[in-house]
A and B are shown apart, each in its own frame.
Chain A
Amino acid sequence: GNSVTQMEGPVTLSEEAFLTINCTYTATGYPSLFWYVQYPGEGLQLLLKATKADDKGSNKGFEATYRKETTSFHLEKGSVQVSDSAVYFCALSSNTGFQKLVFGTGTRLLVSP
């Protein structure tokens, strides 16, 4: 079945450091890929998405590229801020039937001043 694997957290960085959170997936067909973010006490929010191979999603300085050859969708940001501290979830949606999101277990990011 479909699955998503994320790097274990927490990821601890200093402000202005470079961020990478790894995400790989297993799926049949050509899924859509998503990154959701969950700030403390809030629900999940869509951060970015990509719907086909080689697409790059971007938002708020975050980027991720859909790499079919490596089945990856790694999240990157060039310079993190304290306000980026949150839990980040990678997810996929298969392109068959309805949109069923399959999530990774989440990666907590802690950014210190």
Chain B
Amino acid sequence: DAMVIQNPRYQVTQFGKPVTLSCSQTLNHNVMYWYQQKSSQAPKLLFHYYDKDFNNEADTPDNFQSRRPNTSFCFLDIRSPGLGDAAMYLCATSGHRGFQETQYFGPGTRLLVL
């Protein structure tokens, strides 16, 4: 089945140790998004790629970076995780960027920072 896959589902890292989260999709969608969802809060958009064009949200900390080496894969890099970065990270895709588009979400990666 076509889908959005996130690996790993759970990730434990140490304070200050770089970590990378992975997302892949078989939908051949142009747009890939990364959201951060802290406990009992709404998902918050960090950035998105439209094809190879990277679009950062104004309030996304510099500690968060992203790479999209090809259409199928997108990575979230946290350069120096702090305790406040512990959260669920959600990847989503959509065919285009129109405001009526449906976004398709992966199951998320839960990040724990020790």
Contact = CB atoms under 8 A, between A and B. Distances in A.
Interface of A: 4, 31-32, 36, 41-46, 49, 51, 89, 93-106
Given A94-B99, A95-B99, A43 B40 contact: no
A44 B106 CA distance: 7
B108 A31 contact: no
12 contacts: A31-B99, A32-B99, A36-B105, A41-B107, A42-B107, A51-B100, A89-B42, A95-B99, A101-B43, A103-B43, A104-B42, A105-B42
Nearest to B101: A99
A105 B45 contact: no
Interface of B: 4, 6, 31, 40-45, 48, 50, 55, 90, 92, 94, 97-108
Nearest to B48: A98
Nearest to A49: B102
A60 to B, nearest CB: 15
B4 to A, nearest CB: 7
Contacts of A93: 99-101
B45 A101 contact: yes
Contact of B105 (A32, A43, A94, A96): A43
Contacts of B43: 44, 89, 101, 103
A13 B100 CA distance: 32
B100 A98 contact: no
A36 B102 CA distance: 10
Given A98-B55, A101-B103, A105-B40, A43 B94 contact: no
Given A32-B99, A99-B97, A44 B105 contact: yes
Contacts of A4: 42
Given A99-B97, A103-B42, A104-B42, A46 B90 contact: no
**Residue of B4, B45, B103, B104 with highest tally of chain A CB at under 10 A:** B103
